Amino acid sequence: MNGKKAKSGQRPPVPKSPPAGKFWGLEELDGVPLPDERGHFGIYGGRYVPEMLAPALEELTESYFRWRARPEFQRELEKLWETYSCRPTPLYFAENLTRHLGGAKIYLKQEGLGATGAHKINHCLGQALLASKMGKKRLICETGAGQHGLATATVAARFGLPCTVYMGAVDMRRQATNVFWMRQLGATVVSVEEGTRTLKDAVNAAMKDWMWNVAETYFLLGSALGPHPYPAMVRDFQSVVGREVRAQLEKAEGRLPDAVIACVGGGSNSIGIFNEFLAEPQVELVGVEAGGRSLKPGEHAARFEGGRLGVVEGYKSYFLQDDDGQIQKTHSISAGLDYAGIGPQLAWLRDQGRVRFVSASDHEVIAAFQLLARQEGILSALEASHAIAYAMRYAPELPADKIVVVNLSGRGDKDIFILAEALKDPDWKAYCKDYAEGKIR
């Protein structure tokens, strides 16, 4: 629990404007570097990779910190965010939902309105711009839901770079629409048949590709995890979300939020919106993990419910694993949260009591999706619906003068097959059948 929460009834002070030109994530909290020069957040993070990747990660770290400090790089990226994607994304006061739930005011940060329909575009534009500055000739990435793959394929097309997307065979089946779009964007989508054939195996496959093509290729990692500098770099590129929320809420309400809620897969959208408020102890930060079907091993992806400290895929953090340290199967109705590890900075923030973690079950998530659709006319991605699900539980517990901001990390179009199946929609099933049989022209 967050011990530093402001006493209820007491108004948080009006926030200072963010320091001018500050473009990236918080670099220190209570004297602890975020991260240290070798990528550690306390005991978490680091760079646990085969030696042959070390030169590439050293080059990437050096280039990233050099480029991000340049005002022209920041301006170029800001322009891409504004004109190619959609920044700032709206911060919307969900009046109907607030009234319906009867508690704190709920604001939604509409990341789903950006290009490609999810927050992933923020760090993809950032990393693709960096890759082009570094003179890299090719992009590779891993993807789970396909949202990160879609965003990477998109920026690859924009920057004129060939792109290979690794995707677990299981995920390719459940996110077939994204596979189609990625191919339309010119990317090669490789089906990963190893292991559990989901996101973690796609990460491994992309890392292996990188080992073979390390000099020319840029590995565009899709969340705030992996070896240093990815957790810090992805956070930095996503920190624009929280920065906008602060300014937008200051304008709308003249104050800071009382709580910020985000779903947590690897951690990019959550750390992106949390970062701005880490040093504001009165703002409660809540991460929502995938509770899946149940909290039995293999049925969920809530690392803090059943995980243990480990070192996998280049970083130290919490992982869902068996007694021997073998990574376990995970499950979530949302492919984007279906992953055994969690970003190292979040693990550290949890230890500090700065971020509180909860989980939402598949059932709650579907109910949340439906409620938001009916109340506000917003179709949210299943990942983001986890954050809504917790807001549904939490907002009614808070008095009406409190403000909760929910990061709506993506829109729900991509989830039509999963939702139709989960909701047992007979018309959709019939349509798919007829379509497959060529009965629909």
Partner 1 sequence: MSPEADRPQGRAAALVEVFARLRKDSRVGLMTHIVFGYPTVEASRHLVDIMARSGVDLIEVQLPFSDPTADGPTITHACQKALDRGVRVADGLAFAREVTKKYAVPILFMSYFNVVFNYHEKGEARRGVAAFAKAAAGAGAAGLIIPDLPPEEDQERYPETCREHGLHPIYVTSPNVNDRRLEAIAKAASGFVYATSRTGTTGREVQIAMEELGRFLDRAHRLCKLPVAVGFSISKREQIEALSGKAEMAVVGSHLIQVYEKLGLSALEREIRTLAGRKD
Decide: 193 and 169 in contact? Cβ < 8 Å. yes
Q: How far is the C-alpha of 294 from the C-alpha of 311, rounded, in Å?
A: 25
**Is position 120 annotated as part of the catalytic site?**
yes
The smaller minimum CB distance to ligand PLP, of residues 23 and 237, is found at: 237
Residue 389 interface partner, choices partner 1, ligand PLP, none, CB cut-off 5-8 Å depending on type = none
Question: Which residue, 405, 402, 370, is CA-closest to 385?
Answer: 370
The smaller minimum CB distance to partner 1, of residues 208 and 293, is found at: 208
Binding to ligand PLP by residue 61, rule CB under 6 A?
Answer: no
Residue 321 interface partner, choices partner 1, ligand PLP, none, CB cut-off 5-8 Å depending on type = partner 1
**Is position 208 annotated as part of the catalytic site?**
no
Binding to ligand PLP by residue 223, rule CB under 6 A?
Answer: yes
Strands 40-41 and 308-312, sheet pairing: unpaired
Q: 324, 377, 426, 438: which one contacts partner 1 (CB under 8 A)?
A: 324
Q: Which position has the token pair 């090719």? A: 138
Q: How far is the C-alpha of 396 from the C-alpha of 98, rounded, in Å?
A: 9
Q: Which residues pair with 9 in a beta bridge?
A: none
Residue 38 interface partner, choices partner 1, ligand PLP, none, CB cut-off 5-8 Å depending on type = partner 1
Residue 336 is given by DSSP the state G
CB of 164 to partner 1, least distance (A): 15
SS3 302: coil
Q: Which of residues 398-437 bind ligand PLP (CB under 6 A)?
A: 409-410
Q: How far is the C-alpha of 43 from the C-alpha of 25, rounded, in Å?
A: 19
The smaller minimum CB distance to ligand PLP, of residues 147 and 317, is found at: 147
Stretch of 2-10, 81-89, 311-319, 376-384 contacting ligand PLP, by CB under 6 A: 376-384
Q: 29, 86, 157, 211: which one contacts partner 1 (CB under 8 A)?
A: 211
129: CB partners within 8 A, 6+ apart: 73, 76, 77, 80, 159
Q: Which residues of 180-195 are buried (b: 16+ CB within 10 A; e: fewer)?
A: ebbeebebebbbbeee
Q: How far is the C-alpha of 432 from the C-alpha of 73, rounded, in Å?
A: 46
Binding to ligand PLP by residue 354, rule CB under 6 A?
Answer: no
Q: 13, 33, 55, 353: which one contacts partner 1 (CB under 8 A)?
A: 55
Q: Which of residues 116-175 bind ligand PLP (CB under 6 A)?
A: 118, 144-145, 147-148
Catalytic, out of 239, 317, 380, 409: 409
Residue 312 interface partner, choices ligand PLP, partner 1, none, CB cut-off 5-8 Å depending on type = partner 1
Q: 47, 87, 300, 303: which one contacts partner 1 (CB under 8 A)?
A: 47
Q: How far is the C-alpha of 293 from the C-alpha of 296, rounded, in Å?
A: 8
Q: How far is the C-alpha of 304 from the C-alpha of 320, rounded, in Å?
A: 9
Q: What is the maximum alpha-carbon separation in the chain?
A: 66
Q: 49, 97, 153, 418: which one contacts partner 1 (CB under 8 A)?
A: 49
Residue 261 is given by DSSP the state E
Query: Residues 20-59 vs ligand PLP: string with x where CB under 6 A?
Result: ----------------------------------------
Residue 229 is given by DSSP the state T
Q: How far is the C-alpha of 28 from the C-alpha of 218, rounded, in Å?
A: 28
Q: Which residues pair with 140 in a beta bridge?
A: 164, 219
Stretch of 205-213, 375-383, 404-412, 433-441 contacting partner 1, by CB under 8 A: 205-213
Stretch of 111-119, 131-139, 308-316, 406-414 contacting partner 1, by CB under 8 A: 308-316
Catalytic, out of 105, 109, 120, 136: 120
Query: Residues 253-292 vs ligand PLP: string with x where CB under 6 A?
Result: ----------xxxxxxxx----------------------
**Is position 142 annotated as part of the catalytic site?**
yes
Query: Residues 82-121 vs ligand PLP: string with x where CB under 6 A?
Result: ------------------------------------x---
Q: How far is the C-alpha of 408 from the C-alpha of 406, rounded, in Å?
A: 6
Question: Which residue, 247, 244, 290, is CA-closest to 267?
Answer: 290
Within 133-231, strands assigned E span: 138-143, 163-168, 188-192, 217-219
Binding to partner 1 by residue 291, rule CB under 8 A?
Answer: no
Q: How far is the C-alpha of 100 from the C-alpha of 316, rounded, in Å?
A: 42
Q: 1, 160, 212, 424: which one contacts partner 1 (CB under 8 A)?
A: 212
Catalytic residue annotation: 120, 142, 409
Report the interface residues with ligand PLP, using CB under 6 A. 118, 144-145, 147-148, 223, 263-270, 336-337, 381, 383-384, 409-410
